[in-house]
Chain A
Amino acid sequence: MVDIGFIVVVLFLMIGSGMVKWKNMKNNSSKAMFFTVAGVIAVLIVVCINRKNYSIMNLPFMRGMVMSMYHLMKG
């Protein structure tokens, strides 16, 4: 799903965005939010490199809700 090209582009965009917007992050809450999102991206990329899909439909509650609605509408 995610290859080295995508990771390079994302790194480029993140570093560029951080450099350009650093002066706009005037308080700690803004900086904390930026680095939290950067961390989330890193985790997601690791997940994607493992080539595993973590489908929302694999959640039993979600699948149950969607499929029961489907059967209700179909029936």
Chain B
Amino acid sequence: MQDRMKVSSLQMSLLVGSLLIASNMNTMPTAITMAAQQDAWYAYLFPIPYGIGMAYLMWRLARYSPEKNMYEIMQQACGKWIGGLMNGILIAYLSVDLISQLRIYSDFFNSSILLRTPLIYILLMTMLLLAYYAGGSMEHLFRTNVVFITLFLSFYMFMPLFLLNEIDLNKLKPSLSSGIFQPVKGGVLALGSFTDLIIFGAFLHHVRKPRDIYMAMKMGVIYSAFMLTIWLFCVVSVVSPILSSRLIYIGWILVQQIHITDFLDRIDLFLISLYVPVLLIKFAALYIAILTGVASFTKQKKFDFINLPLGIVFTILAAITFDNTDEVSLFYAFGIFPISVVVQVLFLAALFIGMAARKKKSMPADMGITGYSIGVWLTVAGAIVTVLAGSTVGNMHGYYGTICASLFVILVVLCVYLSIRDYGTGVRRNG
């Protein structure tokens, strides 16, 4: 049921982490290392401006109509027919996204963990869980997420420590020596994996104050990019860029490389038990966003009656829409980005043109709070300039690339620190 329960900005921020981190850990590094080779670990720097931009757009939407979600605002701004068509396009895009991710997840389970379980059974069980979450209040999902993502982050942040005896820094070299296109190509693919952020538009009616969503998404995007940078650093330095570009479930291979002691040799099983709930929370959020969109076509604005039937449709579609694992991995890594760009540009352009045409006279005044956000922008810009400058001169001398890589690490850590400080300042000022 579509509820109007409010959630805190911290809960919102932690959901950004669930949305972006877990689903991009297993198969995306394969595509990114194929495109960017040893420079793959710079890739997640490039989606940060997109993520902050999306946070800004969500804030503007929440400010325009505080108690409404993106689908309702679209119908209000563009009318019943054009708004309905745009909502339909966005729902179709989100459905394709969910179906491909569900298939990747079930193929992974089917080929790595539950070898004798039929694919359709894994899909159906997953879908029933998602339907259960969608049947409850959105606050349940946010609260569950807080527990799991906190544990998940606290363990996965120490991956470089767990893998200390396996990391070979020579695999990262020659750093930034293959020209400017290599890190940019990785960045484009990474950008495609961050496009799920648009689903926060479906949760705008849960936001207490419009500014909350900007602060939450901004911090969430930056720490997610940081976590994925750590992850890609481990992938490249442990597995090597050549091998990781040929393995589909590289994330699973990576956690299996942890050999701390004989007793902790199977720590991968413990880590995957944290990974799966976070991934399921992401699917649940995506599924609820789709259901919220479908509910916007009914008079009651409720989706409880359509929850399970639509889940069954997604189950069957996930089973038949792709022939094999290779196909779905290719589609998710290389196909989602162009589709996302077209759909999101079309949807957001229509939305903001519609909003401009029906400009409201009064909006909540929450523009005053600034904090130290210029620091975040400076560090992000500095890191991008460092990577681009490094790739321009990196082929001249090996140490140019090493210096730029070190500067990149310093700037990214600083960016995370400043974003958390901004968030703290924002929360204190907002009360």
Contacts and interface: CB of A to CB of B under 8 A. Distances in A.
A46 B339 CA distance: 29
A56 interface: yes
B330 A70 contact: yes
**Range for the number of chain A residues in contact with chain B:** 35 or more
B334 A70 contact: yes
Interface string B292-331: 0010011110101111111011001101111100010011
Nearest to B335: A66
A47 B31 CA distance: 32
Given A33-B306, A37-B309, A66-B334, A48 B298 contact: no
A47 B298 contact: no
Given A55-B323, A73-B189, A62 B335 contact: yes
A44 to B, nearest CB: 4
Nearest to A65: B338
B331 A24 contact: no
Interface residues of B, number: 41
The CB with the most chain B CB atoms within 10 A, among A24, A37, A40, is that of A37
A73 B181 CA distance: 9
A69 B338 contact: yes
A32 to B, nearest CB: 9
A71 B172 CA distance: 24
A7 to B, nearest CB: 11
A67 B323 CA distance: 16
A6 B319 CA distance: 12
B305 A40 contact: no
Given A44-B320, A65-B338, A26 B300 contact: yes
B304 A21 contact: yes
Contact of A10 (B121, B312, B319): B312
The CB with the most chain A CB atoms within 10 A, among B305, B320, B338, is that of B305
A33 B319 contact: no
Nearest to B1: A24
Contacts of B124: 6, 9
A8 to B, nearest CB: 12
B35 to A, nearest CB: 4
B298 A33 contact: yes
Interface in A58-75: 62, 65-67, 69-70, 72-74
Given A37-B310, A66-B330, A21 B305 contact: yes
Contacts of B334: 66-67, 69-70, 73
A44 B309 CA distance: 12
A73 B34 contact: yes
A29 B296 CA distance: 11
A73 B245 CA distance: 12
A55 B313 contact: no
Given A21-B304, A33-B306, A41-B316, A2 B323 contact: no
Contacts of B307: 17
Chain A, interface SS category: helix
Nearest to B128: A13
B185 interface: yes
Contact of B320 (A13, A25, A53): A53
Given A6-B124, A29-B297, A69 B313 contact: no
A4 interface: no
B120 interface: yes
A57 B327 contact: yes
Interface string B112-132: 000000011100100000000
A47 B313 CA distance: 12
Contacts of B304: 21, 24
A57 B322 contact: yes
Contacts of A17: 305, 307-309
A56 B322 contact: yes
Interface of B: 31, 34-35, 96, 119-121, 124, 185, 188-189, 294, 297-300, 302, 304-310, 312-313, 316-317, 319-323, 327, 330-331, 334-335, 337-339
Top 10 nearest A-B pairs (CB, nearest first) are A21-B305, A69-B334, A73-B35, A37-B309, A66-B335, A44-B316, A17-B308, A55-B323, A70-B334, A57-B327
12 contacts: A17-B309, A24-B304, A33-B297, A45-B316, A53-B323, A54-B321, A55-B320, A57-B331, A66-B330, A66-B331, A66-B334, A69-B338
Interface of A: 1-2, 6, 9-10, 13-14, 17, 21, 24-27, 29-30, 33-34, 37-38, 40-41, 44-45, 47-48, 52-57, 62, 65-67, 69-70, 72-74
Given A47-B320, A52-B320, 12 more contacts: A1-B319, A14-B309, A30-B300, A33-B297, A33-B306, A44-B316, A44-B320, A54-B320, A55-B327, A56-B322, A73-B334, A74-B34
